[in-house]
Amino acid sequence: MKIALCVKQVPDTTDIKWTENNTMKREGVESIINPYDIYALEQALKLKKMTGAEITVFTMGPLQAADMLKEIIALGADKGVLISDKKFAGSDTYATGKTVSTAIKKVLPDFDVILCGQFAVDGDTAQTGPCIANMLNIPQITYVKEINEFEQGTITATRLLDDGLEIVKVKTPALLCVLKSEFEPTRAKINDIIKAQDSEIQVVTLETLGLLPEEVGIKGSPTCVSKAFRPEVKHNCEKFFENGAETIFAKLKEIGVVK
């Protein structure tokens, strides 16, 4: 079995500082693996345990993202593919889907499963996964809580939805978008981290993919950001430093929550 795992390097959003022009202060902002992708990796490792699958991890980003791929190899993935070219910069979800799906077709044409995180914490779009599935013309399962079973080319998975859990079966090849779950992700062992430093990362460029420059990056993106702004806040909060419980109690009576 062959698994393509798609990951994204994102700025640590819990830690973002903004300039007055609403651009991100880049200095001191750490790049991390998108947290949802860690759970996709967990599911990939689960499939690997069940079937002895080989995991190839794909990411699109600058050359520095190779370090992240090595980190994921240290956690149990087998190979890393870095889709990197200055011409890919500014891609929206459509252009990203096109670039990543083309790379998977080139590098791992006989894949059985593609795993992605459900969201990336920087964009929160949850779109790239389904875009890749559509471009590769394979079924998709979104909101995957966990993979239950793999048997005779069919994956059984549990989806966590707003109104309950769905158990679904899908024939491979298929793409699954994985949610965060309750369990603690695996931590890399020091030996594996050292070993992973020597692993070779395959770099894929626009030329390798055989796409046209106008099909990728900003030019290949139907959408663009026309304006960015910080959300407004209201500043009419009445603050009390003492008698908290009494103050709330009185207010609850006033607004009719307590009779």
Burial (CB < 10 A; 0-12, 13-18, 19+), residue 158, is: middle
Output 200 or 214, the one with its CB closest to another protein: 214
Residue from 26, 67, 134, 194 binding another protein (CB under 8 A): 134
For 184-193, b where at least 16 C-beta lie within 10 A, e where not — what string? eeeeeeeeee
Per-residue x/- mask for another protein, residues 22 to 61, rule CB under 8 A? Answer: x-x-------------------------------------
By beta-carbon proximity to another protein, the closer residue of 110 and 183 is: 183
**Nearest approach, Cβ of residue 42 and another protein (Å):** 15
Q: Least distance in Å: CB of 75 to another protein? A: 19
By CB under 8 A, name the one of 56, 93, 99, 102 that touches another protein.
93
Q: Which secondary-structure segment (H or E) carries 177? A: strand 174-178
Q: Are 249 and 240 in contact (CB under 8 A)?
A: no
User: Per-residue string for binding with another protein, 150-179, x by CB under 8 A?
Assistant: ------x---xxxxxxxxxxxx--x-----
DSSP category for residue 200:
P
For residue 152, how many other CB atoms are within 10 A of its CB?
6
- Work out whether 127 is an interface residue with another protein (CB under 8 A): yes
94, 193, 205, 208: residue in contact with another protein (rule CB under 8 A): 94
Q: Which is nearer to another protein, 18 or 194 (CB)?
A: 18
Residues contacting 210, CB < 8 A, separation 6+? 102, 106
In the range 104-123, which residues lie near another protein by CB under 8 A? 119, 121-123
SS3 87: helix
Smallest separation (angstroms) from another protein to the CB of 55: 23
Please give the structure tokens belonging to residue 67.
């370090």
Backbone angles phi, psi at 23, to 5 degrees: -100, 160
Distance CA 176, CA 133 (A): 9
Contact flag: residue 4 with another protein (CB under 8 A): no
Site for another protein in 201-230 (CB under 8 A): 221-230
Contact characters 5-24, another protein, x per CB under 8 A: ------x-xx-x-x---x-x
